[in-house]
Amino acid sequence: MRGKYEPILNSLIHAKKVGGQNGTQVFNIFTARYNLIKENFMATWEEIKTLAADLRRVQLGGNEKRLSKRNCIELISKLIESGLIDLVTTSDGKEYITHDYLVTLIKNEIIANGGRVSLSDIHLALGVQYQQIEDHADLLLKSDDDITICLGQLITKEYLKNLCREVDSLLQNEGRVSISNLSKRYELPVDFLKNEIHQQIPLIVHAIIDPADPCVLYTESFVNTQAAIIRGALCGITR
């Protein structure tokens, strides 16, 4: 149980065992309080805390009076269905996460994976339905300008800057690089890479863009060398 509703959810989920009528007693306390809130349309935070306190008092009466795990799930499900609390349920139904905390978990996964991770990998890592991951990733993108999405992958600006540093290193070694080849190397679309790399010229990527093909980059020394070769060839022809 995590996030804003942690005090209430902890008071419900701490229960591990049910003892016959005692389990029914606890459930009846919840039902009575729930119906009172529902009938009077007074679903305030204080009333929900009162419900949690009632349940907690029964739990403290001994292990035989504690709620079973099944009862806990039923109670929380009723709270969610009634709209008294708004939580995300994990795929196995054993955990409940607030929306804000799920956004935080998604961001943590991006960081843990070096600044680039697919939504499907986050879905597997967190055990939350894919649609929930997709929806909360959208919330993250709206609130954090340092993260973008491409082909179902969340990517940080820092990751892209590091990628551009690698491209510059490769370019300085070879004198010429094709963004089409880089696209295969980094498994990212040509247009996406071209825009990111061009934005970093000349800050990070020290390159000259081929005027005939913006997807081809040269170093200044490569261009000068080629120009010298051409001049030499022309001089030889004119002699």
pTM of the entire structure? 0.70
- CATH assignment of 83-144? 1.10.10
Give the SS3 label for residue 175: coil
By the 8 A CB rule, do 44 and 89 touch?
no
Mind giving me the DSSP string for 35-62? Answer: HHHHHHT---HHHHHHHHHHHHHHHTT-
Q: Can 83-144 and 159-238 be said to share one CATH topology?
A: yes
- Which pLDDT does position 157 carry in this prediction? 98
pLDDT tens digits along 86-98: 889 888 877 889 9
DSSP conformation class of 85: S
Q: Is 189 helix (H, G, I), strand (E, B) or coil?
A: coil
pLDDT digit string, tens, across residues 183-213: 999 999 999 999 999 999 999 999 999 999 9
The SS3 call for residue 179 is helix
The CA-to-CA distance between both ends of the chain, in Å, stands at 85
How big is the CA angle at 106 (ends 126 and 81), to the nearest 5 degrees? 65
What pLDDT is recorded for position 80?
A: 79
Task: Enumerate residue ranges in the chain where pLDDT < 50.
Answer: 1-21, 41-43
Q: Which fold has domain 159-238?
A: Arc Repressor Mutant, subunit A (1.10.10)
User: Of 229, 188, 190, nearest to 213 (Cα)?
Assistant: 190
**Model pLDDT, residue 184:** 97
How is the chain split into domains, by residue range? Answer: 5-60, 83-144, 159-238
What is the CA 216 to chain-centroid distance, rounded? 34
